[in-house]
Structure formats: structure tokens, C-alpha cells
């Protein structure tokens, strides 16, 4: 019996270690842990923010998360109050609701109008879930006020009932073929020379990991065919003229007081140039993307839809 007791204690210790690791990993991966939170409360909201809501694909909070596509939400409560005043809204909460329900109404300076409506496919958050996220966002520099959120209940839509019909390309294509083309560096222009997916590829352009979850097919089609239409924040082309009269067009990889590192496209190859402050005559952001605008000519129809299907599959 004593041996059985020792076995039980040993087993519980091993399982305790397992639970500890699960909690530790949850902390690292950005989840809230502690079980399934439900209802309208910050705990549930936090879980949705880092989970099903997929907010963390674009937003970080302080040093938590690594996304830069959307604004970092640290201290959001105070920022929301300021923006509400700026927009003539009654409170910071109303601003937050507007940002979620009609995200295109106001776009934070320096960012692009790329936020999807989270109550529509593919994210499909319900009213209660959105309210929970709101309560969580209120805690970022402030206090949650559930009663106030409830007052705005009618302004928050329920999850769309529209049947989720996946995007069907006009011709039959295989996302796996699209993936192959995406990473095929034997081509004249290779997507992965500038974009990263799942840790593979380069970081000249925006990281496309999870892009299918947050962007519509229409946005991606436009981004491939007309890359200058919307340029993701931080990836604008920089026009740099040196003191000896040389001109460069590229993306700023890093900029410090000591140096500016520019990634320049040289006939399909990305070259890295380092400039010191005394070498720079002028720097100016351009409205034209460094991404080639001739993908319509470079890709066949099948290749184009293959890449599109692949990008949409990245959720």
C-alpha cells in the first residue's frame, strides 16, 4: 500500500509539472490561461483578444505580442478618451465601439484602413464576445465598466448569420501550388524574397503569417496587382539622396542616430545599404511601394489565383 501511495504522489508531481508547463506556455503565447472564461468580463475579453478574436494578429499590448500591423494598444483607455474628444464622441468607450463596429470611420495616424469587421466572416465574434473584448480594452490603462458597455449593447451587432462560403477562385487552383510559387526563388520575382510566412522568407515587406484570417480576397488581390494602393505602415518606400548625389529608393530596415539601413531592390535582388548621417542629404517617404507593380504580367492567371488561395489559407 505504501508503494502505491508513493506511486500516486510521484504521478501527481509529474502531472503538476505538466500543468505548470501548460500555464507557462500559455503566458508565453499570449493567452490568458485559467480556463474558459465566459460572459462580459475582462478575463473573457482577454482570452478572445489573444484567441478566437485574432486581434493579436495585428495588435500588440506593450511588450506582449509582436504584431505591428495595427497600433500597440498599451494605455488604450486614455488614448480612447483623447480620440473621443477629437471625434466629438461622448466617451472613450463609444470610440472603442466605433473602432470595432465600423473600423474604417477613424484610422489612427500612421496606420492603414485594414481592420476587418470582427462580427463578419471569417472571425465571426458574437455580441457578447465583442462586449467582453471591450471590457478588456477598458482595463488597458483604465477600469472596466460593464454597465456602461451594456448601455451600448444595441450598437454592437451579433455575429453575421451569412453562411460562410469560402472564396472560390474562378478557375480550379491548388493552394499548395501557390505555396510553391510563393517560395520559388528560381522565378524572376519571388514573394518570399520580401515576405515571410511562418518564419520562412525575408522581412523586407510585411510578414504574411495569418494574413488569410484578417484580410479579404479583394484586399489581397489589390495588394498583389496594385501594391501602391495601400502600403502597410512601416513599409513605405524611402527616397534617399546622398551628399555625393546618389539616389536610392528602398525600405528603411532600421534607423538610428548612428545609421540608416535601407533595403534596395536591384533587379530582383534585395541589397542592404548602410548610410551614416553625414552621408545623407535628403530622405523622403514615397507613395509608391517597393513591391513590383507588374505581377499581372509576371504571373499566369492560374499562378495568380494559386498564390491568392495560398495566402487566404494562412489563418
Which spans of this chain sit near another protein (rule: CB under 8 A)? 1-4, 6-7, 10-12, 14-15, 18-19, 21-23, 25-26, 28-36, 38, 47, 51-52, 63, 66, 124, 164, 166, 175-176, 179-180, 183-186, 197-200, 203, 209-210, 212, 254, 310, 313-315
Element housing 219 (H / E): helix 217-225
User: Rounded to the nearest whole angstrom, what is the least distance from the CB of residue 65 to another protein in the complex?
Assistant: 9
We find the least distance from the C-beta atom of residue 10 to another protein, in angstroms, to be: 6
Least distance in angstroms from the C-beta of 199 to another protein: 5
Provide the sign of the torsion angle of the four alpha carbons 93, 99, 101, 105, taken in this order.
Answer: positive
Pairing of strands 269-275, 247-255: unpaired
Q: Which three cell numbers stand for residue 75?
A: 494605455
Nearer to another protein, 94 or 207 (CB): 207
Give residue for cell 497600433.
Answer: 71
**In angstroms, what is the minimal distance from the CB of 305 to another protein?**
14
114 within 8 A of 218, measured Cβ to Cβ? no
Closest CA to 52 of 153, 163, 165, 159: 159
Measure the CA–CA gap between 253 and 236, rounded to whole angstroms.
Answer: 11
DSSP code, position 121? T
Residue 167 or 219 having the CB closest to another protein? 167
Minimum distance from CB of 137 to another protein (Å)?
19
User: Least distance from C-beta 104 to another protein, angstroms?
Assistant: 26
162: Cα within 13 Å, side-chain hemisphere: 10
Which residue number, 21 or 298, has a Cβ lying nearer to another protein? Answer: 21
Give whichever of 183 and 239 is closer to another protein, judged by the CB atom.
183
Nearer to another protein, 148 or 159 (CB): 159
254/282 with CB nearer another protein? 254
CA distance 16 to 10: 10
Distance in Å, CB of 24 to another protein, minimum:
9
Q: What is the DSSP letter of 34?
A: S
Nearer to another protein, 38 or 85 (CB): 38
Amino acid at each position: 500500500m505504501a508503494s502505491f501511495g508513493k506511486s500516486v504522489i510521484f504521478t501527481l508531481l509529474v502531472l503538476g509539472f505538466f500543468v505548470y508547463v501548460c500555464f507557462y506556455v500559455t503566458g508565453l503565447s499570449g493567452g490568458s490561461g485559467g480556463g474558459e472564461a465566459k460572459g462580459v468580463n475582462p478575463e473573457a475579453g482577454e482570452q478572445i483578444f489573444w484567441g478566437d478574436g485574432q486581434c493579436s494578429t495585428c495588435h500588440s499590448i506593450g511588450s506582449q505580442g509582436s504584431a505591428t500591423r495595427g497600433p500597440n494598444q498599451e494605455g488604450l483607455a486614455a488614448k480612447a478618451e483623447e480620440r473621443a474628444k477629437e471625434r466629438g464622441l461622448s466617451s472613450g468607450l463609444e470610440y472603442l465601439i466605433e473602432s470595432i463596429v465600423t473600423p474604417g470611420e477613424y484610422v489612427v495616424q500612421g496606420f492603414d484602413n485594414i481592420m476587418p469587421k470582427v462580427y463578419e466572416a471569417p472571425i465571426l465574434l458574437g455580441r457578447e464576445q465583442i462586449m467582453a473584448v471591450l471590457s478588456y480594452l477598458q482595463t488597458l490603462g483604465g477600469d472596466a465598466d460593464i454597465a456602461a458597455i451594456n448601455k451600448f449593447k444595441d450598437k454592437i451587432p451579433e455575429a453575421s448569420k451569412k453562411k460562410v462560403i469560402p472564396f472560390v477562385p474562378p478557375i480550379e487552383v491548388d493552394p499548395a501550388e501557390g505555396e510553391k510559387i510563393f517560395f520559388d526563388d528560381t522565378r524572376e520575382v519571388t514573394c518570399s524574397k520580401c515576405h515571410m510566412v511562418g518564419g520562412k522568407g525575408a522581412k523586407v515587406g510585411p510578414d504574411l503569417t495569418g494574413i488569410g484570417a484578417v484580410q479579404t480576397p479583394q484586399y489581397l488581390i489589390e495588394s498583389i496587382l496594385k501594391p501602391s494602393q495601400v502600403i502597410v505602415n512601416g513599409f513605405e518606400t524611402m527616397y534617399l539622396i546622398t551628399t555625393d548625389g546618389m539616389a536610392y529608393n528602398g525600405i528603411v530596415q532600421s534607423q538610428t542616430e548612428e545609421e540608416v539601413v535601407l533595403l534596395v531592390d536591384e533587379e530582383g535582388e534585395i541589397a542592404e545599404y548602410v548610410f551614416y548621417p553625414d552621408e545623407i542629404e535628403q530622405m523622403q517617404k514615397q507613395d509608391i511601394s517597393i513591391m513590383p507593380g507588374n505581377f499581372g504580367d509576371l504571373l499566369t492567371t492560374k499562378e495568380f489565383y494559386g498564390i491568392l488561395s495560398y495566402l487566404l489559407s494562412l489563418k
